[in-house]
Every structure is written in C-alpha cells, then in structure tokens.
Amino acid sequence: MRAPSSWGRIALFAVIGAFILVPLAQTIITSFVSTLPRAGIAEGHFSLVNYQNILHSAALKDSIVNSIIYVVLNVALCLGVGLPAAYGFARYGFAGDRQLFFLLLVFRITPTVVLSLPIFVLFAQIGLANTPVGIALVHCVFNIPISIWILEGFISAVPREFDETAFLDGHSLPSFFFRHLIPAIAPGIGVAAFFCFVFSWVEVVLARILTTTGGKPITMAINGLFGFRTDFGLVMAMTVLAVLPGIAMIYFVRNHLAKGFVIRT
Amino acid sequence: MKLYDNRAWFLVLPALVIVTFVGIVPLIAVTNYSFQDLFSLNNPYWVGVDWYRNIVTSERFYASLGRSFLFSAIVLSIQLPLGIWIALLLQRSNQFIVSTVLVLITVPLVVPWNMIPVIWLNLINPNAGLAGKMLAWLGVGFDYKFNALHTWIVLVVMDTWHWLGLVVVLAYAGISSIPPAYYQAAAIDAASQWQVFRFIQLPKMKTVLSMAVLLRFMDSFMIYIEAFRINAGGPDSATAFLSLDLGEEILSFNYGPSAARSIVYFLIVLTVAWTFKAATSAPAPAVPPTQELAT
C-alpha cells in the first residue's frame, strides 16, 4: 500500500484532538473561576472556591456517593447475570435463542424515555423509587444486553476444548467459571464493565424520574444547581468531578477498548 | 458447531428475569395505560384507541417524525464516514498514537448527558465562551436561540462531539480484526487503496458498522435531553423532535396519551431493530474468496 504522509495524519489527529478538547478545556477553566460576586474574590478571577463549595455541601457529596453506589451495583449485576448468559449463547443452541437475542437487542435500543412512565409507577409501588438500588436495577434494561454482547464475543474466541479439558479435570460449571473462564477472558470483563459503567453513569432520564425526592445521583444534583442565579463555576466543577471516574476507566481499558466488538459475527 | 441443549436456558434465566422486570413488565403496563383515561391511576376509564387516533392524525406528530429522521440522516452521514476515515488513519499509525487518539475521542462518551448541552452552551456563550468569543470576533452573527439553522448546527456539532468516539471505536475494532495476509494478497494483486477499502476493509467491518449505524440511528432519532437543553425544541418548534413531545407529556403526567405515544415509539424501535436484523443476516455479499486472499 502507498505510505501516507505521517505528518499529514498527525496534523489531522491534532485537529480532531482540539475539537474534542476545547469544550472540555473551557469546562475546566470555568470550574476554576468564581462566577458569582463574592466577598473577597473578584468575579471572573481564578479561584478554588467552587471545589471548596462542593466540599462544604452535604447534598453534593451525598450525590457523589449515590452515583458510585448505583453504578457499582449496576455493573456487578450486569456482569453477574451477563456472564452465564453470554456463556449460554456462545456455547449452546437452545429453543428460542435467536428470539431472545433479538429481544435483548430491542431493549438495548429502546429509548429510556419510552419506559420511564411505567417504571416510575412500578418502582414507586414497590418502594424502589428514590434509592440508588432502583436506578441500578432499571439501568440493567440496556446494560445487560451490552454485557452479554461483549462477553459473548470474548467467550466465542476461546476454543471449546478449553471448557472440555476443564470439565474432564472434574471442574463443575461454577468452578470452571471462576478458575478458568474469568481469568481467560479478563480483558473482555474489563471492556464489558467499562461500557456498563459508561452507559449507566451518563443516563439521566430514568435517573431523574426515579429520584424526585431522594437518592439523587451527581447528574441530578447538578440539575438542582440551576436556578435564578446559577453558579456556573460550581456547575462546571461538579461536571469535572463527574467526568473524572470515566476518564480513569478509559485509561484502564485503553488497550482493549476496540477489541470488545471484534469477534462477534 | 454449537451444541443444542435446552438446559442452557438456566444460564440465561437470571438475565431474562431482570430484563422482564425492568423491560417487559413496564411495557405491558404502558400498553394497558394507553387504552385508558387515567386522571389518577386508581380511576381508569376505558377510551379504546382514542389516544392513538389523536397521535396518528396530528400534524405535529408527522412534523416531529420528519425532523427526527432529518436529524438522524444528517448525523449519520457526518459521523459514519468521519469515524471510518479516522479508523482507517489509525490503522496505519503506531500503537502510541492509536491509544492516545482512542482515549481522547472516547472522553465525551463518559460525560453525563445532561451536562453535554451545558458544556456547549458555555462554549458558545458570546461573553465567556471560547467559541462564542471567536465567532463574535470573526463578525459572525451567531444566534442559536432564534435562528433555526444555527440551533441545528449546534445540535449536529454537539452530537458529533459526543458520539464520534463510539463510531471510531467500532470501526477500528472491525479494521484491526483483518489478518495481515489479506493486505499482502492485495499488495501482490497491486490493488489500489480504494479497492483495498472497498473489497477487504468495508466487508470485514460490516458487522461492527451495522451495529454503529443501529446505535447511532436510534440514539439520534430519539435525542432528548441534549436537544431539550439547547433550545427546548425552538425556535418555533424547529428542533421539536419525537422524544421532546413525549417528555413534555410525561412531565405533565398525562398518563394515557404519553403511554400511547410510548407504544407508538416502541413500535418504531421494533421496526428498526427488525430491519437491522433482516439486513445483517442476509447472505454475505460477493467478495473475493477468503482462501485465495489468504494464501
């Protein structure tokens, strides 16, 4: 193949990088600026006041805890039920397997706003509204399909003989899962956890309708900051904090990010 | 070959139980609501298909449907070629550049959806935002509040910023799964860069790309929070997409009409998913036989 100019490519990547980074840079800059008139700090000047305000607000700190609780629960649930299901799909044919796979696809792409009304009514009746547990459960509707999709791809790449050898060695299915399968597809579990984390962390429609009075996650706490005189510095500081865990996750899976979708045909 | 064993149902059962609880049961409930007038949930009054008739006979519904289709079409025609092109360039780059670009381009994916419009409004603010000041300095009279075209531009650029990473990751996943032997065979045949793309890379990317198309189509078609925050469907309903109508009804607790609307939208989703499935499970297109290329 003709070798393309590498400088041209790098210049292009620089343009794309700038496009991605400028809005984020603006956010970070604003988060370090005092955007409301305050005693002792000139408006529009550099200040750590926004981050200090977060530390002094119990509601904002609670929201960070709520977010972490529900997202960890959601990822654990999706991986816990997703792994056996993915194994079932990867290794066996069974009555209705294709229909079930289609059903999962449909729920993955169903907009959350379509389900929000009945979920609100249902969860309010059984006491799951206004708790992080409720959000963790409801986000399974689009995250279980994702985890099954990704894990199934990774499991399919492992030859069947791998399982058979383990079973011949006397491993039961659970022991095979923990001793052999999970170590063998560790990157896949990382990638699945990453995508479950992302889609749960950023979702706001269901999170909003389920937390009208309590259990608010970061996203809803930020919504609550808008008012007659919005402190944009504080909003941006919260946004920066809300993006940091995601960036850490990206960093951990960076070398496997693209592999999650390779194998499945 | 897969073994045929119905005991595999036990493996998928836990997943199915949860999906039933948070997906299928709510759908049944919403179907039930859609045929009733529910002033409160305890006093249902059967109205048959009235709500559906209201939706499918309203001009507003078709106008929103048209706008949503147009938005998805624009978004796909920008993000898909751009994402594929970036992935193709990445494929010729070294590991360091690949990691850096992939990390950078996926960062917008982890930004909570309600913050994306806030970030962009801050950016295009003519007094404080970098882009806003730049446009003012250039003398462009940019007015996303009252100029429909400008609102659309903001939405499309913002959506591209938000989702380009997903397309790039998927496209790159497809490209990096191609064995080097394919390229060697192409080089022996003196295939042009376009031929390599058309007959090797594109067919090999087909599965992941169709997934990218499906995900991007659905998410842009039902864009809600982002579009609402930018201009609340304005100016003059120019950006009133399907989800905005539904969101409005849910927030005013019109149970019956919003339930009917949810079902209509769900049927659209079902149609799209079905089309997607039919399209991807079609027989493989005519491509050079793999054995010839691999040897």
Per-residue pLDDT 10s for chain A (265 aa) are 444 577 888 888 999 999 999 999 989 988 898 877 776 677 777 888 889 888 888 888 889 999 999 999 999 999 999 999 999 999 999 998 889 988 998 998 888 888 888 898 888 888 888 888 999 999 999 999 999 988 998 898 888 888 888 888 888 888 898 888 999 888 889 889 999 999 999 998 888 888 888 888 888 888 888 887 788 889 999 999 999 999 998 888 888 877 666 544 4
Closest of A176, A70, A13 to residue B90, by C-alpha: A13
Chain A: nearest CA to B104, how far in angstroms? 7
Tell which wins on pLDDT, B228 or B40.
B228
pLDDT in tens, B250-268: 877 778 888 888 899 899 8
Q: Please say whether the beta carbons of B101 and A16 come within 8 A.
A: yes
Instruction: Yes or no: say if B225 and A209 are a contact pair by the CB < 8 Å rule.
Output: no
Tell me the sheet residues that pair with B46: B36
The answer to whether B207 and A265 have CB atoms below 8 angstroms apart is yes
Q: How far apart are CA A210 and CA A134, in angstroms?
A: 7
Q: What is the predicted ipTM?
A: 0.88
Q: Residue B74: pLDDT band by 50, 70, 90 thresholds?
A: very high
Does residue A28 contact residue A51 with C-beta atoms inside 8 Å?
no
Q: What does the alpha-carbon distance between residue B219 and residue B71 come to, in Å, rounded to a whole number? A: 11
> CA B206, B208, B209, B215 torsion: positive or negative?
positive
A-B Cβ pairs (cutoff 8 Å, strict)? 272
List pLDDT tens digits, range B29-59. 888 888 888 777 677 778 878 888 888 888 8
Residue-wise pLDDT for A197-255, tens only, equals 999 999 988 888 888 888 888 888 888 888 877 888 899 999 999 999 999 988 888 88
pLDDT at residue A138, rounded to an integer: 93
Query: What is the C-alpha to C-alpha distance for residues A40 and B149, in angstroms, rounded to an integer?
Result: 43
Q: What is the pLDDT at residue A212?
A: 81
Which residue among A110, A140, A236 sits closest to B269, beta carbon to beta carbon? A110
For chain B, percent of residues with pLDDT exceeding 70: 94
Separation CA B97–CA A60 (nearest Å): 37
Evaluate if residue B228 carries a pLDDT over 80.
Answer: yes
Q: State residue B288's pLDDT score.
A: 46
Determine the residue of chain A that is closest to B272 in CA distance: A106
Helix (H) or strand (E) segment spanning residue B4: strand B3-4
Q: A156 and chain B: CB distance < 8 Å anywhere?
A: no
Q: Which residues of A touch B257 (CB under 8 A)?
A: none
Collect all residues with Cβ–Cβ distance below 8 Å to A202 and sequence separation of at least 6: A219, A246, B109, B110, B111, B112, B113
Domain boundaries, chain B: 60-294
Nearest to A107 among B23, B93, B207 (CB): B23
The whole-number average pLDDT for the span B231-236 is 78
Asked if A14 reaches chain B (Cβ–Cβ under 8 Å), the answer is no
**Ramachandran angles phi, psi of B93, nearest 5°:** -105, 165
Domains in chain A, please, with CATH?
58-261 (1.10.3720.10)
For residue B231, the tally of other CB atoms under 10 A from its CB is: 22
Chain position carrying tokens 């149609």: B271
Give the pLDDT confidence score for residue A262 in this predicted structure.
56
Structure-token pair, residue B145: 């509040």
Chain-centre distance for alpha carbon B167 = 10
- Per the CB < 8 Å rule, is A27 touching B119? yes
SS3 for B136-189 is HHHCCCCCCCCCHHHHHHHHHHHHHHHHHHHHHHHHHHHHHCCCHHHHHHHHHC
Q: Which of B113, B262, B272 sits opposite A114 (nearest CB)?
A: B262
Q: Is B92 an interface residue toward A (CB < 8 Å)?
A: yes
Residues 196-225 (B) with a CB less than 8 A from some CB of A: 196, 207-208, 211, 214-215, 218-219, 222, 224-225
Q: What type of residue is A155?
A: I
Rounded to an integer, what distance in angstroms lies between the CA atom of residue A19 and that of residue A10? 14
The per-residue pLDDT for range B93-112, each reduced to its tens digit, is 888 888 889 999 999 999 99
To the nearest whole number, what is the mean pLDDT of chain A?
A: 87
pLDDT score recorded for residue B1: 62
Give backbone dihedrals phi and psi of B41, rounded to 5 degrees, phi first: -70, -15
With a cut of 70, say whether residue B293 has pLDDT above it: no
d(CA A234, CA A253): 30
**Mean pLDDT along residues B204-228:** 86
Chain A residues in contact with B247 by the CB 8 A cut-off are 113, 205
Q: Where are the beta strands (DSSP E) in A59-209?
A: 92-93
Whether the CB of B29 is below 8 Å from some CB of chain A: the reply is: yes
> Mutate which of B106, B183, B194, B199 to disrupt the A interface (most A C-beta within 10 Å)?
B106
Answer whether CATH 1.10.3720.10 is correct for domain B60-294.
Answer: yes
Tell if the CB–CB gap between A202 and B3 is shorter than 8 Å.
Answer: no
- Identity of the residue in B12, B108, B173 whose CB atom sits nearest the CB atom of A258: B173
Across all residues in chain B, what is the average pLDDT? 85
* Angle A98-A103-A107 from CA coordinates, rounded to 5°: 150
Q: How many CB atoms lie within 10 A of CB A256?
A: 16
Given A81, A117, A259, which is nearest B14 (Cβ)? A81
Q: Does A200 touch chain B (CB under 8 A)?
A: no
Rg of chain A (C-alpha set): 23
B30–A contact, CB cutoff 8 A = yes
Test B14 with A84 for CB contact under 8 angstroms. Answer: yes
